[in-house]
Amino acid sequence: MSKKNAPTYSDAIRELEEIVRKLQSGDCEIDELRGYTARSIELLRICKDKLFKTDEELKKLLEEME
Amino acid sequence: MNHPHEISLFELNGIVRNALKDCFPDRYWVRAELSDVKENRSSGHCYVEFVEKESRRGNIVAKARGNIWAMNWRLLRPYFEEQTGQQFTAGIKVLVEVSIEFHELYGYSLTVTEIDPTYTLGDMARHRAEILRQLEEEGVKDMNKELILAPVPNRIAVISSATAAGFGDFMNQLEHNSRGYRFETHLFPAVMQGSQTEESIIDALNKIFRKQDCFDAVVIIRGGGATSDLNSFDSYLLAMNCAQFPLPVITGIGHERDETVLDSIAHTRVKTPTAAAEFLIERMDEAYDRILTLQAQLDQTVRERLTAERQRLTTLTDAVPFLIRERMAEEKIRTDRIRSAITSRLHGILASEKEQLHRISAQIPRLAQQSIHKEQLRIELLKERLHTIIPLRMEGAAARLASLEQIVSLVSPDNILKKGYSLTLKNGKVIRNVGELYRGDRISILMQNGSAEAIITAIEPNQETTK
């Protein structure tokens, strides 16, 4: 919502689960581990932001409605 | 004109009053619809109007005034409202126990002594069932329930009265959630009580509809006050609007009794505004727990993987020098083997070459001797042959010369002239053709023993030769 390219919460969770599955199944090269870890940290941040951070853009929209 | 039994109106009404009292000494349970309810603030009495309508067309077929005296009203009203979740108000059907009164001044009226809330409840239930049946027939009853609530429902459109205690409870609960989730709420104020409720909520829904992308859910809350006047939420129109609303509708309209129609069609129904907030927080908890689980899984998996890889690396590191040594030893053995094979092979080749050389060099003097001897013999032979051949050739040549001499002497002009032939010369040249001669030409005729001069007098070529 806040960034155009940011995935939605559901997409982010889905991607996270896919990464966990891949890592658990050993379906990933050690070279990719760093990339996956970085991506999962990014996704976790996105998900947590949705839970804990103010959606400034939404706030603005709502203020306009007043 | 005087009538012996003439009486006053008051007297007549008094007779009627007494007669009624005699005829209807009991109390009666009466079914009726309330068409008007008025409470007198100062006296505390409640005045109502009962009607009965024809079931088909709704025409009023009976009507009566009713009184609920203050002493009774104080007890009956809260009991009724608590039991039904419904105000004792116009438009509802009631079952009341009445005594029949007649007052000289006010006329016929019914004094209410008891109210049976179960009858009203039953009627309301029938009414609700009817609305729900209609919604079902129209295929909209479960539409809102079928919507999927966002996994992180933190953008909330609230429909409530701004001043309601329930709204305060809801906001308080959301804001002070223990994990500190962020909720974005926006209040769409609405009247939550009385006749304007339906229109007011629909109006708020329409406003939210225009901004639907900004929200995850609609929460309709009410309450904190009396658990009465819920029949506004048994509205067909309101239910229709909510059921078809594109966002999940969560109701917390604060009552304990049977669900209203609005509750029945809502995506999620909870009892109180606080419960509505808790529901949203729980949903956030689920999302957060899911994230934490994933995080833990990731953490563990990555750690395990790294440990395993490190171990693998250690094992390899330990193994490498040993493997290299082993391999080098193997290679050394192999090269040694190859080297000795090559050496022995070379030796073999050299020996055989040497031997051949020896053999060949040993043969050379003998072969040379043989060649020389053979050439000497040949020379001797040639010498001998020359000695015999040369005299033979000389003889042959002499004989041939003699025969040639003979041939030469035979064909010489002298010999030919001796035989009688002569030569004819003109100007010193031998004439062989009669055509070269003309009459008067001077010619010389050469013979064996001299020559003669002559002049051509006639020329007669042979027929054939002149041709």
Contacts of A50 in chain B (CB under 8 A): 152, 154
Q: Quickly list H helices, B258-272.
A: 261-265
In a domain, B394, yes or no: no
Selecting from B182, B211, B301 the residue whose C-beta is nearest the C-beta of A53 gives B182
| pLDDT band (50, 70, 90) for residue A2 | very low
Same domain, B29 and B84: yes
Same domain, B182 and B109: no
| pTM of the model as a whole | 0.61
Nearest to A28 by CA among B249, B277, B4, B304: B304
Q: Backbone phi, then psi, for B138, in 5-degree steps?
A: -80, -5
Same domain, B195 and B283: yes
Contacts of A9 in chain B (CB under 8 A): 150-152, 287
C-alpha span between B351 and B345 (Å, rounded): 10
Contacts of A58 in chain B (CB under 8 A): 155, 184, 214
What angle is formed at CA B171 by the lines to CA B168 and CA B174, rounded to 5 degrees? 145
Same domain, B172 and B272: yes
Contact A62 B214 (CB under 8 A): yes
Same domain, B142 and B267: yes
SS3 B47: strand
Domain end among B271, B287, B303:
B287
Answer yes or no: are the C-beta atoms of B161 and B191 closer than 8 Å: yes
In a domain, B346, yes or no: no
Domain region containing B420: 416-461
Contacts of B181 in chain A (CB under 8 A): 51-52
Same domain, B83 and B211: no
Type of residue found at B243 = A
Residue of A nearest to B177 (CA): A52
pLDDT by 10s per residue, chain B, length 467: 677 788 999 999 999 999 999 999 999 999 999 999 999 999 999 999 999 998 788 889 999 999 999 999 999 999 998 888 778 888 889 999 999 999 999 999 999 999 999 998 888 888 889 999 999 999 999 999 999 999 999 899 999 998 888 899 999 999 999 999 999 999 999 988 877 889 999 999 999 999 899 899 999 998 755 555 677 888 899 999 999 999 999 999 876 665 789 999 999 999 889 999 999 999 999 999 999 999 999 898 888 888 888 898 898 888 888 888 888 999 999 999 999 999 999 999 999 999 999 998 888 888 889 999 999 999 999 998 888 888 888 888 888 888 888 887 777 777 778 888 888 888 888 888 888 888 888 998 888 888 889 999 888 888 765 44
Selecting from A23, A30, A51 the residue whose C-beta is nearest the C-beta of B309 gives A30
Same domain, B135 and B282: yes
Number of domains in chain B: 3
Same domain, B110 and B134: no
Six-digit token string for B117: 């809330």
Contact A47 B301 (CB under 8 A): no
Answer yes or no: are the C-beta atoms of B115 and B82 closer than 8 Å: no
Q: With b meaning 16 or more CB within 10 Å and e meaning fewer, what string describes B222-243?
A: bbbeebbbbbbbbbbebbbbbb
Contact B291 A59 (CB under 8 A): no
A58: closest CA of chain B, how far (Å): 6
DSSP state of B435: G
Six-digit token string for B108: 């016929």
pLDDT at A1 over 60: no
Contacts of A65 in chain B (CB under 8 A): 186, 207, 211
Selecting from A10, A16, A54 the residue whose C-beta is nearest the C-beta of B294 gives A16
Q: Provide the strand spans (E) within B58-178.
A: 60-68, 93-103, 107-115, 155-160
Domain end among B272, B287, B302:
B287
DSSP state of B259: P
Nearest to A8 by CA among B294, B296, B152: B152
> Which chain B residues have any C-beta within 8 angstroms of a chain A C-beta?
150-152, 154-155, 180-182, 184, 186, 207, 211, 214, 284, 287-288, 290-291, 294-295, 297-298, 301-302, 305-306, 309
Question: In whole angstroms, how far apart are CA A31 and each of A23, A36, B48, B301?
Answer: 12, 9, 84, 15
Six-digit token string for B247: 């966002």
Answer yes or no: are the C-beta atoms of B80 and B117 closer than 8 Å: yes
C-alpha span between B193 and B195 (Å, rounded): 7
Q: How many CA atoms lie within 13 A of B94 on its CB side?
A: 31
Q: How many CA atoms lie within 13 A of B344 on its CB side?
A: 5
- CATH number of residue B142's parent domain: 3.40.50.2300
Six-digit token string for B38: 């008025």
Interface of A with B in 5-44 (CB under 8 A): 9-10, 13, 16-17, 19-20, 23-24, 26, 30, 33, 36-37, 40, 44
Q: Tell me which H or E stretch contains B389.
A: helix B273-410
